[in-house]
Amino acid sequence: MLNSVTSKIIALVLIFAQLSNALHFYLNTGETRCFFEELPEDTLVVGRIDAYEKNDHNGEFDRNSNLRVQITVDETFDNDHRVVSQKSSPSGEFTFTSLDSGEHKFCLTPVYSDGSRGKNHRIFFDVALGSAHDYVDSKSTKKIDSLTLQVQSLNKKLQEIHWEQEHMREREAIFRDQSENTNSRVVKWTIVQLVVLVGTCVYQLRHLKSFFVKQKIV
């Protein structure tokens, strides 16, 4: 029975795994790579970073204690207001809460504390939204079995989906309000044009009538 439940949970985790924000990319020392993410208001954001240095001798990527990753997060909708600016260790994380909904720009730059340059790096970057609680601490205690960890991981994915749905509803409401406002302006402008047109026609008719009277045509 336990194996059956475990199999179902693993299958669900694999289904939701495609929704993860995790990615990896390659950069040279001092180069910057930026990513954009739409965040709802009052969303807790936890970013995780793993950075490696390429070994020129064997082509493998290894850790270097002098390697740092410069992290910045800007609100593009508010004149690039900066909400995060810090240097992370090769394996570190950063946390912040979005104060307003909108597009945020995440930028990462590998640098060295000893000023080294000319290296190639592989960087893993993951952003989790919603809850500040994670099951990493549970792993360190060694008191929770693998099935519980899988359930917690699945709950985390479900929470991320819930936050994404809330964000979509918020965006739909904003778009609906903008559409209604635009339609209202179009109607008002059409009415103004009609009033001007009718007024112009009345003025021209009166002018023509006055002209014909003066010419004793009528």
Q: Kindly report, residue by residue over 121-154, the tens digit of the pLDDT.
A: 999 998 887 644 443 444 444 444 555 566 667 7
213 is a domain residue: no
209 is a domain residue: no
pLDDT of residue 54: 92
179 is a domain residue: no
pLDDT of residue 84: 92
In contact, 109 and 35? CB cutoff 8 Å: no
pLDDT of residue 139: 41
Give the domain range for residue 76. 2-171
187 is a domain residue: no
Cα dihedral 5, 11, 13, 15 sign: negative
42 is a domain residue: yes
51 is a domain residue: yes
Sorted by sequence, the CB contacts under 8 Å of residue 74 that are 6+ apart come out as 80, 81, 82, 83, 104, 105, 107
157 is a domain residue: yes
pLDDT of residue 147: 56
pLDDT of residue 75: 93
Binned average pLDDT, 10 residues per bin, the chain of 218 residues? 45 39 85 91 86 89 91 92 90 87 93 88 87 43 54 76 83 86 88 88 81 67
217 is a domain residue: no
pLDDT of residue 115: 81
Tell me if residue 70 falls in helix, strand or coil.
strand
pLDDT of residue 201: 87
* Total number of domains constituting the chain: 1
pLDDT of residue 99: 85
Output the domain CATH number for residue 160: 2.60.120.680
Angle between helices 146-214 and 2-16 (to 10 degrees): 30
